[in-house]
Structures are given as structure tokens and as C-alpha cells.
């Protein structure tokens, strides 16, 4: 661990500029091939056209998952900055870089504009279609706008937080004047006014990002799944989706942190403190998952109206019961009973394995919800589900799409880390100002400053 | 810039034990008034027991009125204690130190008030109603129906009451030792027994510190469950429109936090104003709680919005007719406007101004407004919800509270005030050891010309 | 009473009062140098300090086991109560199954948490070694900011302890059985 602020900067920039080696290159090639396989899968699926909604359930689930994970990940940096905590400084960039993956998510969203039928099929919608003079594709328009503004906000936050680091990079390497990386620092000279504005802009945009994230989850959860299932009235469902996004976002950051620690050799910066902090968050989020799920479930189960019974059958107890049970175990039971235990939380492997479980659990959860919702798309105009269709298994095309989609995300992220420093340099330098070790009578203590 | 006064332990003892070791002049009259109001309410209760629930304004179909509104209201207020104490402890927020105990004590007394409002008063003949909850009738083998939310509810409230009372008592032990050392004679003997022989060894302090965190972590999930379960008293049934909504549990919780944290802010203002503890509870603390309130209130408003959106989303006539009643028909429409203004549109924009956040007067006014609004919110959920029960209901009654109900409701308010007054006479309302610990762990970092407040971390 | 019991057990206690942390820490070092066992002396303060401030050993406790045991007890009682009452009076209400699991979860959850909390509180009192019937050497000024170093040792070593405490800079040294 290096001590002075200048040494931190020198060390981190040096690490960033190091050549990546053949392993990085080989993995990139493999991921590119898998991404292409995903495109092939999409083409295969596309041969049947967008008309048969039930064929696209797995595709929509993939989008929903990637949007949840990549959209939720930047919240780790945003929320911990609001709480003025010091330990997340070394993971803020790791989490913010996921905004670039969200950009990839937007590409995946484009076909969904055609997959989702317009509101003329008589389904119940939020938009008072038929009563007010709204266009029949209002959900498509609103979701697109919401999604684009969310991703732009995320990218803007990333850019703001990058500016000082790009400046350091530009000063310490031979980045050519006029190159795009040079321009990205946007005339940053580190004046006190620039620092002041940067802090405020990041704060305000962070709050805006959070609100937009919830809003977009609201739109996607309602328009892209709930309204397709007749009789499904669950006011809490959009909030559960926003929460799931935070949960899988944290898990994704833990997994990425693990990879960056081992393959990028950042052991000094990504220490047990960071794993432990996020382990605690995973614990709290798993409890919240149960609370949200149970709050929805008990009301529908207790009410037991025929429409509610069939919704529960479709989503939980019927064709997808094993998927639901697996998601329940991986999203709630496993993180709860492992992350409650301090020694496991205070380790590198513990939180990482649990994050893996949450990651897989979230995939299963999205499949359960979206595949089930799209399987009743032909009944959308009814008052309640007439018959619950049997399980829809993924086809070859679906498997290719999923592999390609996930590989594409990893590839995009890896390439981003090639260009942009994966550890936030200025925040590490700032930490040196606020963190002091000193003697307190007979012990050595850490003094942490909390500026206004 | 944060205000900061470094105080000695002796000075802290003198300041904060002021109410315990001597009696302020206003204390006795205030206590007597609270006792009087409480006794009047108790007499009204006696009258109701004698005459039956017919003396209240409850009727068919509005079976739930002021008592249930009050029950939900007080459960809501009780959430403040744990919200402030547990969450801020777990996040190691320094500004929690002077306010935790007052908040926890308010939890205990408001829970008692809630218990007075529903299971005691509301059921009319408590000895009949409550005996199927406890004790169990082993003799005849007839058991309670645990499938009913009315069994979940007492199990949760009693757990919460037990937990929060124990929490307060455990954290009191070191402070009781301080009082023990400052008193003489029989009073000292009593405090000696209560403080269990606490001496302040590193082991005892360590356990106190761990206890604060561990109990916070344990009480927090209980607090979430309590109001969720209270909400399921309403949401589980499919009878009244507008009640059967999945959003109810989080909506009630966040509403409870909104009203509870506002109540703590009110309490802080009172403590600064009446007890002159402004060295301990500073305007910085008010500022922090007001910032927290902006977030809490806005989250609450989001859930309120969701509740409404999905009520309209059902597109079912009875549900929409109920909403029409709430918003467009007098007197509910008037209440609805007052509710929205006082619960959100007046206080939140006010809190955006630093001057308001740091003003005792304006913080008092805005936080009281929130609780007026939140009381009305519960009223507007319960009463109009019951008035229109659907197509085939021919009893379309309204509801006017009788004087008997009003007196009993006033008694629950008097009870909380009385409880707090009696507590301040016997125990310190600001945790001495927490404040002293804050002084030990406080530090500063000098960066150039600036001094940054800092704290020691082990 | 204290004298009698202490005399029977052959132990006496003495407390040295210090005005600052460093001299109290020096006293602990001196006691160690004078061959007092680490369980014979302890620091008494009016406020929590970071662990090891006075060079004392970090207290070891087993508090975390208490909530676990309590939770298991509470869960078992909750399970017994909910299953037993439903099966003991098997009446269908609200069209729900006789053994309805979702409501059971709620009551069992409350039972679990109640058990965990009650056991934690018992654990805190027990692990703090409270209630303590006899205070031993103690002084009221400790809750006013003085730092006490209490030594509980065999009768013949009390004077040695007093000497060590005085030498370390104690402002006052007080025996356990002294009257105020």
C-alpha cells in the first residue's frame, strides 16, 4: 500500500497503463465469439417474427435481468456517496462503469418495442387507454424515453467522476492532444470551483438517477409484465422490481470486484473491508426481498379471489414452481443464513460465492416472472386468467441469446476497463486527506474525517 | 460548520441529571394536567363499559372509527424510536447520540397508548375479546384462530413492546449507575438495585456497545413486521374497497416512519426549548433530522402515489367510487386537502430551506403539521373505506365521533405525555454514557486552514 | 457484610483514582510488572473507551450465542403453538387450509424474534457479570470522569497494590471497605 497522495496517483495510473497480457486478449476473443452466437440466436428467434409473444419471454427476461443488474450497480456508488462513507471509495468506479453496460442494454431493448403489443388488445393498463385520448403505444414511448434518460444520466455521472482521473492520465502518459480521451477531461484543471461543482453535480445527478431508476422499473414492471397477465393487480410489484435491481446490482459489483481484485491485482484497494461492507448490504437486501415478496403474497393468498389464485398459480405455485423455489432459496435463504455470520462476511470468498448465488437467483426470478407473463399474452384482454399454460422451456435460440447477452455485457465491461481506470484515483487521493492513523494512549486508532 | 462543545463528564452529569436530581417548576403542574386528562378519558371508558359501545359514534357499516385511527396512529409514532435509534446506531451516525433514548421511550409509551386504543377500548368489552388472545383456554381445547390477522397483530405488538422496553432498560444501566453515585439514602438504595452493581469495567462497556448494535439489528426486523401486520388487518380482507392492496405493508411502514421521525423532531425541539439542552441537541441535529425527513417524506409520497395509481388501475367501479368519496365529497374532500398539505406539501418545501431546518419554531410547526396530516391519512383510509362497502350493502352510514370517543382519544395523548414526564423525573432522557462516549471518540483533522470533524474508529 | 465475605474469601480490593488515561495505563503496566495477575486488576471508567486504550486485554464474550439459542427456542415454541392450535381445533375458517403455512410464518417469526431478543438481554446482563452484589473498591468520582484502577487480591498483597498505585500517580487510593 502506498502512502502519499502523489504516490497513490502514480501507482494507480501505472497499474492502469500496464499492458493487459495475452489472457485478457484470449478472453475477449472468446466473449466476442459468444456474443456473435447470441446474435445468431436472435436471428433464429426472429424467423418466427414478433407476433407470437410467448416465444419472446426468455428474451424479455434477459433484457430485464441485464437492465436490473447494470442499472442497479451504479447505485452502490451513488448511495454510499450520499452516506459519506469512506470504504466504498475504491469500488465507486467499478460500480459506475456499469452505465456503459446499460448502453448495451438499450440495444437489447430495441426489439422489445415490437415484441410488446400495443394497448388495443383490450388489456388493463395504467394509461386509461380508451378513456383518455392517449396513443396506443404510449408504454413503448415512455419506456424508451425513461430508459434513454436513465442511461444518459448514468453515463454523465461516470464522465463527471472520470474528469479528474482523465486529467491525471493525460498528464502522466503520452495521450495526444486532440484525442477523444484527452477531450474527455473537458478542461479539468482542478480549481476549487471545479471540485465544488463536481461534488454537487454528482450528488444531484445521483439523486436523479435513483428516481429515474425507480420510474423506469415501474414502467417496465407494469407495462412489460403485469398488464399482460389478466387479474394481476399488485401495487407493490414495481417496487419489488426496483429492489431486485439493487440486490442484483450489489451482487454484480461484488463479482466484478472479485474479478478485478484477482485478475487486475488490486488486492491493496479491494480488501476485506469492501467485501464485508457489500456482504452486509446483501444481507439487508435479502431480508428486504423476503419482506416485499411476503407483503405481496400474503395479501393475494389471503384475499383468494379467483383472479388472485390464478395469478399465484401462474407465477409461483404452477408451471414455474421449481424456478420460484430456486429463486427463493438463492435470493433469500442462502444470503440470509450466510451473511448473518460475521466470519463469513469478513472474507473474500464468502460474499463472492453468495453474490454468485444472488446473481443466479435473480436470473431465475426474471425468467419466472417474464416467461410466465408472456405465456398468457394471448389472454391479455380477459378479466382473469382462464387457463394457466404449462411450462415454457427455453429453446436452442433462447439459450444462445442468453449466453450471447451475458457474454456481450462482460465484453463491454472488460473493454471499458481497458480504456478507463477501474479504481477511482481522485477519491483515493481524497481519502488520504480524511484518514489519519494515530496513537490513542496505548493503541493505534484510525481517525476518519467527515467533511460537510 | 458543525457546532461542537467539548464537555467534561461532571458537566454532562450536572446538565442532564437536572430533571432527575431536582424538580423543575413546571413539572408538577404539567404532570397534574396530564393526569387529569387521562382520568377524564378513563372515566369516559368506564361510562362506555357501563352503557355499551352504543355511546360511541360507531355504527353499521362504520365499525371502525376514532379508536382504530388512533391505534394505527400510535403504532406509527412508536416506529420513531427504532428508526432513529437502530438505523442510526447501525450506520454509526454521530448525531443519534442525544436523541436515541427519548425516541425509544416514546416508542414504549406510544405502544402502550396503541394497546389502549385498540384491544382495550375499541373492543368494547375487553375481558371477552382479549381472553381469546391470552391466556389460552387449555381446559376446553378451543384454540385461537392463528389464521386471523387479529392474532398476528397482538403477537407482533407484544413482541415489539417487550423488545423496545428491554432495549430501553438495558441501555439505562450505565446511566442508573451515574444517578446511584449522585444520590443518598433510600433513593441511592433503589438506584443501586436498578443499576445491578454496574462499575464501568471494559467488559461491561464492551457489552453495552455490542448490545446497542445487536439489539438494534434484532429490533429492526420486528419494527418492520409490526406495522406490516397492522396493515394486513386491513389489506388481507377483500371487503372494503381500497384496503385490499399489496402496497399496504410498505406504505404503512414508511408512513409510520414519516410520522414517527417527525414526532422525534418535535420532541427534540421541546427538549431544546423546555430543558435548555441545546448544548447536547444542537441546531445541527435538527438540520440532520430535517434532511432525513425530506427523504422519508418523499419516499412516503411515492408509496402514496403507487397506492392511488393501482387503485385506479383496477378500473373497478366500487374502488373508484370510494376514491371519489375520499377526494370529491364533503367533508372528506376537505380533510383530504388538509391531509395532503400538512403531510407533504407544506412541510417538505419548507425543509428545503436551511433557515427552517435550523429554526426551533418552524421545525415544531412543520413536524406537528406532519402528524396532523398523518392522523388524517389513517382516518381517510379507515372511515370512507368502510362507508361504501359495495353493491349489495344497504347500510350506507356515515360516522361522527361522540364526545366519549374524543375524550378517550385525548386520554391516549395524555398518557404518552404523562409517561414521558414521569420518565424524565426518574431517568435521564438523554443517554449520558452515549454523549460521553461521543466526547471520547470525537476528534478533528486539520487540512490547511480547515478543521474537519472526525471520529475515532477502532 | 462485605468485610465478612471478603475476609472469608481472603480477598480485598483497592482502587486507585487517576485523572488522566495515560497514568491509569501506567498503573496497569506497573501492576503487571509487580507480578499481579491480569484477572486481579481492572480499569473502571465513566464512559466507554476504545478497546485496549489502557493496555488492558480485549474482553472476550460469547454474547452472539445467546440470540441464536433464543431464536431456536422462540421458533420451536412458535411452531408448536401454530401447528398445535390449528390441528387441535380443526375448523376451516375463511376457506383456508387447516394447516395454513403463511399465517404460521408470521407468528413463528414473532416468536423467533422475541426469543432472540429476550435471550440477548439475558446474555448482556450475564456476560457483563451483572448483577454484582458487592461493589468492592469503588468511588463515586468514577462516574464523574476519574479513572479507577481496581485491584482485587489476597489480603497480604493489598498493601503492595496500594504502593504500586500510589507510585503510578494515583490521586487517591481507596480500600473496598472504607466508608465515604
Summarize pLDDT for A306-337 with one digit per residue, the tens. Answer: 999 999 999 999 999 999 999 999 999 999 99
C82 contacts in chain B (CB < 8 Å): 146
Asked whether B188 and B167 are in contact (CB, 8 A), the reply is no
Residues 6+ apart with CB under 8 A from B342: B369, B370, B372, B373, B376
The three grid cell numbers given for residue A340, joined into one nine-digit string: 448473518
- Number of folded domains in chain B? 1
Contact A300 B315 (CB under 8 A): no
B443 φ/ψ angles, rounded to the nearest 5 degrees = -150, 180
C102 contacts in chain A (CB < 8 Å): 294, 297-298, 301-302
Contact B228 A214 (CB under 8 A): no
Is A381 part of any domain?
Answer: no
Q: What is the DSSP letter of A129?
A: B
Q: Who among A298, A304, A441 is closest to C54 (CB)?
A: A441
* CB of B208 less than 8 A from some CB of C: yes
The ipTM assigned to this model is: 0.93
The answer to whether residue A102 scores a pLDDT higher than 60 is yes
* CB of A442 less than 8 A from some CB of C: yes
Q: Who among B221, B247, B457 is closest to A235 (CB)?
A: B247
Residues 6+ apart with CB under 8 A from A37: A400, A403, A404, A407
* CB of C69 less than 8 A from some CB of B: no
Summarize pLDDT for B244-286 with one digit per residue, the tens. Answer: 999 999 999 999 999 999 999 999 999 999 888 888 999 999 9
Which residue intervals of B236-359 are DSSP H helices? 248-274, 283-313, 317-328, 332-340, 347-351, 354-357
Question: What does each C-alpha distance from B275 to A75, A251, B19, B281 come to in angstroms?
Answer: 42, 48, 8, 10
Q: What local confidence, expressed as pLDDT, does residue C105 receive?
A: 94
Q: What is the DSSP letter of A186?
A: T
Q: What local confidence, expressed as pLDDT, does residue A183 receive?
A: 80
The 3-state DSSP class for residue A440 equals: strand
The three grid cell numbers given for residue A290, joined into one nine-digit string: 423476503
Contact A299 B221 (CB under 8 A): no
C54 contacts in chain A (CB < 8 Å): 441-442
CA–CA distance, A251 with A271 (Å, rounded to integer): 16
Q: What local confidence, expressed as pLDDT, does residue B137 receive?
A: 67
B181 contacts in chain C (CB < 8 Å): 140, 142-144
Domain C2-58+135-175 CATH assignment equals 3.30.70.260: yes
Summarize pLDDT for B289-306 with one digit per residue, the tens. Answer: 999 999 999 999 999 999
Q: What local confidence, expressed as pLDDT, does residue B379 receive?
A: 94
Q: What local confidence, expressed as pLDDT, does residue A372 receive?
A: 95
Is A303 part of any domain?
Answer: no
The beta-strand segments (E) located in A175-298 are none
- Give B367→chain C minimum CA distance, Å: 32
The three grid cell numbers given for residue A140, joined into one nine-digit string: 413503448
Asked whether B457 and A447 are in contact (CB, 8 A), the reply is yes
Between strands B442-447 and C11-18, the pairing is: unpaired
**Predicted confidence band at B385 (pLDDT cuts at 50, 70, 90)?**
confident
Q: What is the DSSP letter of A268?
A: T
* CB of C50 less than 8 A from some CB of A: yes
Q: What local confidence, expressed as pLDDT, does residue B126 receive?
A: 82
Q: What is the DSSP letter of C156?
A: G
Q: What local confidence, expressed as pLDDT, does residue C179 receive?
A: 46
Q: Name the region of A190 (left: φ>0; alpha: ψ -120 to 50; beta: rest).
A: left
Residues of chain C numbered 110-169 and touching chain A (CB < 8 Å):
none
Contact A126 B236 (CB under 8 A): no
Q: What local confidence, expressed as pLDDT, does residue B369 receive?
A: 97
Is A314 part of any domain?
Answer: no
Residues of chain B numbered 46-75 and touching chain C (CB < 8 Å):
none
Q: Name the region of C134 (left: φ>0; alpha: ψ -120 to 50; beta: rest).
A: beta
The pLDDT of B334-363, averaged and rounded, is: 96
Residues of chain C numbered 24-63 and touching chain B (CB < 8 Å):
42-51, 54, 56, 58-59, 61, 63
**Predicted confidence band at C100 (pLDDT cuts at 50, 70, 90)?**
very high
A contact test, residue of B230, B246, B288 with most A CBs within 10 A? B246
Is B3 part of any domain?
Answer: no
A298 contacts in chain C (CB < 8 Å): 102, 106
B94 contacts in chain A (CB < 8 Å): 450
Is A32 part of any domain?
Answer: yes
State which residues form the domain around A73.
23-274+395-448
Contact C54 A442 (CB under 8 A): yes
Is A148 part of any domain?
Answer: yes
The answer to whether residue C75 scores a pLDDT higher than 60 is yes
**Predicted confidence band at A133 (pLDDT cuts at 50, 70, 90)?**
confident
DSSP string, B351-371: HTSHHHHT-HHHHHHHHHHHH
Question: What does each C-alpha distance from C119 to B82, B202, C109, C116, C142 come to in angstroms?
Answer: 19, 22, 15, 5, 30
- Give C172→chain A minimum CA distance, Å: 22
The pLDDT of A54-66, averaged and rounded, is: 94
- Give C175→chain B minimum CA distance, Å: 15
Q: What local confidence, expressed as pLDDT, does residue C180 receive?
A: 42
The pLDDT of A58-86, averaged and rounded, is: 93
* CB of C21 less than 8 A from some CB of A: yes
Burial class from Cβ neighbours inside 10 Å (0-12, 13-18, 19+) for residue B197 reads buried
The pLDDT of A404-433, averaged and rounded, is: 94
- Number of folded domains in chain A? 1
Q: Name the region of C47 (left: φ>0; alpha: ψ -120 to 50; beta: rest).
A: beta
The pLDDT of A212-216, averaged and rounded, is: 95
Contact A449 B445 (CB under 8 A): yes
Q: What local confidence, expressed as pLDDT, does residue B160 receive?
A: 94
Residues 6+ apart with CB under 8 A from B336: B326, B327, B376, B380
Q: Who among A297, A442, A445 is closest to C25 (CB)?
A: A442
Between strands C172-175 and C147-154, the pairing is: unpaired
Query: Looking at chain A, which residue has its C-alpha nearest residue C55?
Result: A442
CA–CA distance, A124 with B315 (Å, rounded to integer): 8
* CB of B17 less than 8 A from some CB of C: no
The answer to whether residue A62 scores a pLDDT higher than 70 is yes
Closest by CA position to B457, among listed A121, A445, A92: A445
Q: What local confidence, expressed as pLDDT, does residue B130 receive?
A: 67
CA–CA distance, C82 with A327 (Å, rounded to integer): 27
Contact A236 B246 (CB under 8 A): yes
The three grid cell numbers given for residue A81, joined into one nine-digit string: 456517496
The pLDDT of B131-138, averaged and rounded, is: 65
Could you state, in order of their start, the residue ranges of all structural domains in chain C?
A: 2-58+135-175, 65-127
Asked whether C100 and B147 are in contact (CB, 8 A), the reply is yes
Contact B310 A235 (CB under 8 A): yes
Contact B228 A291 (CB under 8 A): yes
Summarize pLDDT for B425-447 with one digit per residue, the tens. Answer: 999 999 999 999 999 999 989 88
- Give C124→chain B minimum CA distance, Å: 6
The pLDDT of B156-166, averaged and rounded, is: 93
State which residues form the domain around B46.
9-455
* CB of A26 less than 8 A from some CB of B: no
The answer to whether residue C76 scores a pLDDT higher than 80 is yes
Which subunits sit against A, judged by 3+ Cβ pairs under 8 A? B, C
Query: Looking at chain A, which residue has its C-alpha nearest residue B239?
Result: A303
Burial class from Cβ neighbours inside 10 Å (0-12, 13-18, 19+) for residue C77 reads middle
Summarize pLDDT for B200-240 with one digit per residue, the tens. Answer: 999 999 999 999 999 999 999 999 999 999 999 999 988 78
The 3-state DSSP class for residue A6 equals: helix
- Give B4→chain A minimum CA distance, Å: 14
Residues of chain A numbered 231-290 and touching chain B (CB < 8 Å):
233-239, 287
CA–CA distance, B93 with A82 (Å, rounded to integer): 13
CA–CA distance, B37 with A452 (Å, rounded to integer): 45
Contact C85 B196 (CB under 8 A): no
Q: pTM higher than 0.90, yes or no?
A: yes
A305 contacts in chain B (CB < 8 Å): 238
Q: What local confidence, expressed as pLDDT, does residue A2 receive?
A: 56
Residues of chain C numbered 63-92 and touching chain A (CB < 8 Å):
64
* CATH code, domain with B291: 1.20.1630.10
Determine how many CB atoms are found less than 10 A away from the CB of residue A200: 10
Q: What local confidence, expressed as pLDDT, does residue C1 receive?
A: 47
Edge-to-edge, what's the strand order for the sheet holding A443-449?
A435-440, A443-449, B450-457, B442-447
Is the four-CA dihedral A233, A236, A242, A246 of positive or negative sign? negative
Asked whether A162 and A141 are in contact (CB, 8 A), the reply is no
- Give C160→chain B minimum CA distance, Å: 22
Contact B146 C88 (CB under 8 A): no
- ∠ CA A206-A207-A211, nearest 5°, is 115
* CB of A207 less than 8 A from some CB of B: no
* CB of A84 less than 8 A from some CB of B: no
CA–CA distance, A222 with A239 (Å, rounded to integer): 10
Is B314 part of any domain?
Answer: yes
- Measured between its terminal Cα atoms, the distance across chain B in Å is 26
A287 contacts in chain B (CB < 8 Å): 221
Which H or E run includes B164?
A: helix B149-182
B contact test, residue of C110, C126, C148 with most B CBs within 10 A? C110
A436 φ/ψ angles, rounded to the nearest 5 degrees = -125, 135
B contact test, residue of A447, A451, A452 with most B CBs within 10 A? A447
Question: What does each C-alpha distance from C4 to A242, C1, C134, C159, C177 come to in angstroms?
Answer: 68, 5, 12, 19, 10
Amino acid at each position: 500500500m502506498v502512502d502519499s497522495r502523489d504516490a497513490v496517483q502514480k501507482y494507480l495510473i501505472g497499474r492502469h497503463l500496464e499492458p493487459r497480457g495475452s489472457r485478457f486478449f484470449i478472453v475477449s476473443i472468446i466473449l466476442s465469439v459468444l456474443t456473435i452466437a447470441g446474435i445468431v440466436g436472435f436471428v433464429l428467434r426472429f424467423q418466427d417474427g414478433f407476433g407470437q409473444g410467448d416465444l419472446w419471454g426468455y428474451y424479455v427476461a434477459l433484457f430485464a435481468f441485464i437492465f436490473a443488474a447494470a442499472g442497479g450497480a451504479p447505485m452502490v456508488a451513488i448511495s454510499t456517496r450520499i452516506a459519506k462513507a469512506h470504504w466504498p471509495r475504491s469500488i465507486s468506479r467499478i460500480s459506475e462503469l456499469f452505465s456503459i453496460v446499460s448502453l448495451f442494454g438499450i440495444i437489447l431493448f430495441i426489439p422489445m418495442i415490437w415484441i410488446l403489443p400495443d394497448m388495443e388488445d383490450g388489456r388493463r393498463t395504467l394509461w386509461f387507454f380508451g378513456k383518455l385520448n392517449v396513443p396506443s403505444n404510449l408504454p413503448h414511448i415512455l419506456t424508451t424515453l425513461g430508459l434513454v434518460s436513465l442511461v444518459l444520466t448514468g453515463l454523465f455521472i461516470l464522465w463527471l467522476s472520470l474528469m479528474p482521473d482523465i486529467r491525471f492520465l493525460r498528464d502522466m502518459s503520452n495521450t495526444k492532444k486532440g484525442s477523444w480521451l484527452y477531450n474527455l477531461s473537458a478542461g479539468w484543471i482542478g480549481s476549487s470551483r471545479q471540485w465544488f461543482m463536481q461534488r454537487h453535480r454528482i450528488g444531484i445527478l445521483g439523486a436523479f438517477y435513483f428516481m429515474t431508476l425507480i420510474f423506469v422499473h415501474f414502467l417496465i414492471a407494469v407495462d412489460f409484465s403485469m398488464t399482460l397477465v389478466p387479474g394481476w393487480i399488485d401495487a407493490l410489484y414495481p417496487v419489488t422490481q426496483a429492489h431486485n435491481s439493487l440486490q442484483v446490482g450489489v451482487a454484480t459489483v461484488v463479482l466484478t470486484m472479485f474479478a478485478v481484485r484477482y485478475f487486475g491485482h488490486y488486492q491493496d484497494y479491494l480488501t476485506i473491508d469492501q467485501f464485508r461492507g457489500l456482504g452486509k448490504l446483501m444481507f439487508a437486501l435479502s431480508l428486504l426481498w423476503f419482506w416485499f415478496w411476503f407483503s405481496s403474497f400474503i395479501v393475494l393468498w389471503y384475499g383468494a379471489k379467483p383472479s388472485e389464485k390464478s395469478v399465484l398459480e401462474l407465477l409461483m405455485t404452477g408451471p414455474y414452481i421449481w424456478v420460484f423455489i430456486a429463486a427463493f432459496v438463492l435470493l433469500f435463504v442462502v444470503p440470509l443464513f450466510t451473511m448473518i455470520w460475521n466470519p463469513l462476511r469478513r472474507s473474500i470468498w464468502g460474499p463472492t460465492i453468495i453474490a454468485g448465488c444472488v446473481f443466479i437467483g435473480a436470473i431465475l426470478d426474471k425468467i419466472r416472472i417474464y416467461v410466465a407473463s408472456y405465456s398468457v399474452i394471448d389472454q391479455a384482454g380477459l378479466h382473469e386468467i382462464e387457463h394457466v399454460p404449462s411450462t415454457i422451456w427455453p429453446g436452442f435460440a433462447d439459450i444462445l441469446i442468453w449466453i450471447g447477452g451475458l457474454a456481450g455485457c462482460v465484453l463491454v465491461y472488460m473493454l471499458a476497463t481497458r480504456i478507463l481506470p477501474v479504481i477511482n484515483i481522485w477519491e483515493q487521493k481524497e481519502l488520504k486527506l480524511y484518514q489519519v492513523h494515530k496513537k490513542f494512549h496505548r493503541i493505534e486508532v484510525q481517525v476518519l474525517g467527515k467533511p460537510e | 460548520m458543525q457546532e461542537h462543545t467539548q464537555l467534561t463528564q461532571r458537566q454532562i452529569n450536572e446538565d442532564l441529571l437536572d430533571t432527575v436530581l431536582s424538580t423543575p417548576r413546571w413539572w408538577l403542574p404539567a404532570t397534574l394536567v396530564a393526569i387529569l386528562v387521562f382520568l377524564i378519558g378513563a372515566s369516559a371508558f368506564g361510562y362506555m363499559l357501563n352503557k355499551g359501545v352504543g355511546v360511541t359514534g360507531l355504527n353499521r357499516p362504520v365499525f371502525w372509527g376514532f379508536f382504530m385511527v388512533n391505534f394505527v396512529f400510535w403504532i406509527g409514532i412508536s416506529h420513531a424510536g427504532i428508526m432513529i435509534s437502530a438505523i442510526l446506531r447501525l450506520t454509526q451516525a454521530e448525531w443519534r447520540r442525544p436523541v436515541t433514548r427519548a425516541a425509544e421511550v416514546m416508542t414504549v409509551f406510544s405502544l402502550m397508548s396503541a394497546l389502549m386504543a385498540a384491544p382495550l377500548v375499541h373492543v368494547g368489552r375487553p375481558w371477552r375479546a382479549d381472553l381469546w388472545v391470552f391466556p389460552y383456554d387449555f381446559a376446553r381445547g378451543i384454540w385461537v384462530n392463528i389464521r386471523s390477522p387479529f392474532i398476528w397483530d397482538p403477537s407482533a405488538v407484544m413482541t415489539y413492546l417487550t423488545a423496545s422496553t428491554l432495549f430501553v432498560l438495558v441501555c439505562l444501566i450505565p446511566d442508573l449507575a451515574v444517578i446511584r453515585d449522585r444520590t443518598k439514602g433510600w433513593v441511592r438504595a433503589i438506584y443501586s438495585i436498578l443499576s445491578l452493581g454496574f462499575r464501568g469495567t471494559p467488559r461491561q462497556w464492551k457489552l453495552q456497545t455490542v448490545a446497542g448494535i445487536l439489539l438494534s439489528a434484532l429490533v429492526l426486523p420486528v419494527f418492520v413486521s409490526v406495522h406490516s401486520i397492522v396493515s394486513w388487518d386491513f389489506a388481507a380482507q377483500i371487503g372494503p374497497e381500497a384496503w385490499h392492496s399489496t402496497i399496504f405493508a410498505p406504505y404503512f411502514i414508511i408512513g409510520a416512519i414519516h410520522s414517527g421521525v417527525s414526532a422525534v423532531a418535535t420532541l427534540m425541539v421541546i427538549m431544546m426549548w423546555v430543558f435548555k439542552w441545546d448544548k447536547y441537541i444542537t441546531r445541527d441535529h435538527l438540520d440532520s433530522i430535517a434532511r432525513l425527513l425530506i427523504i422519508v417524506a418523499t419516499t412516503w409520497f411515492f408509496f402514496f402515489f403507487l397506492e392511488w395509481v393501482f387503485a385506479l388501475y383496477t378500473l373497478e367501479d366500487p374502488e373508484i367510487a370510494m376514491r371519489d368519496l375520499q377526494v370529491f365529497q364533503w367533508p372528506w374532500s376537505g380533510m383530504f386537502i388538509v391531509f395532503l398539505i400538512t403531510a407533504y406539501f407544506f412541510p417538505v418545501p419548507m425543509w428545503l430551506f436551511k433557515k427552517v431546518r435550523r429554526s426551533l419554531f418552524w421545525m415544531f410547526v412543520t413536524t406537528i403539521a406532519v402528524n396532523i396530516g398523518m392522523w388524517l391519512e389513517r382516518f381517510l383510509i379507515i372511515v370512507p373505506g368502510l362507508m361504501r362497502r359495495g353493491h349489495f350493502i344497504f347500510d350506507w352510514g356515515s360516522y361522527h365521533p361522540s364526545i366519549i370517543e374524543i375524550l378517550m382519544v385525548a386520554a391516549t395523548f395524555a398518557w404518552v405525555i404523562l409517561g414521558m414526564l414521569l420518565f424524565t423525573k426518574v431517568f435521564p432522557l438523554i443517554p449520558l454514557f452515549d454523549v460521553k462516549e461521543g466526547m471520547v471518540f470525537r476528534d478533528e483533522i486539520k487540512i490547511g486552514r480547515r478543521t474537519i470533524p472526525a471520529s475515532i474508529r477502532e | 457484610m462485605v468485610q465478612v465475605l471478603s475476609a472469608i474469601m481472603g480477598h480485598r480490593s483497592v482502587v486507585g483514582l487517576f485523572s488522566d488515561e495515560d497514568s491509569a495505563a501506567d498503573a496497569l503496566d506497573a501492576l503487571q510488572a509487580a507480578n499481579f495477575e491480569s484477572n486481579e486488576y481492572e480499569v473502571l471508567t465513566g464512559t466507554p473507551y476504545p478497546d485496549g486504550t489502557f493496555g488492558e486485554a480485549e474482553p472476550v464474550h460469547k454474547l452472539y450465542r445467546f440470540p441464536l439459542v433464543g431464536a431456536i427456542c422462540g421458533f420451536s415454541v412458535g411452531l408448536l403453538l401454530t401447528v398445535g392450535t390449528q390441528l387441535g381445533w380443526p375448523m376451516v375458517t375463511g376457506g383456508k387450509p387447516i394447516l395454513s403455512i403463511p399465517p404460521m410464518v408470521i407468528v413463528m417469526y414473532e416468536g423467533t424474534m422475541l426469543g432472540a431478543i429476550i435471550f440477548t438481554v439475558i446474555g448482556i446482563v450475564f456476560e457483563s457479570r451483572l448483577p454484582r452484589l458487592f461493589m468492592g473498591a469503588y468511588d463515586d468520582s468514577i462516574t464523574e470522569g476519574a479513572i479507577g484502577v481496581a485491584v482485587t487480591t489476597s489480603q497480604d498483597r493489598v498493601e503492595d497494590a496500594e504502593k504500586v498505585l500510589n507510585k503510578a500517580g494515583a490521586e487517591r487510593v481507596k480500600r473496598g471497605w472504607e466508608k465515604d
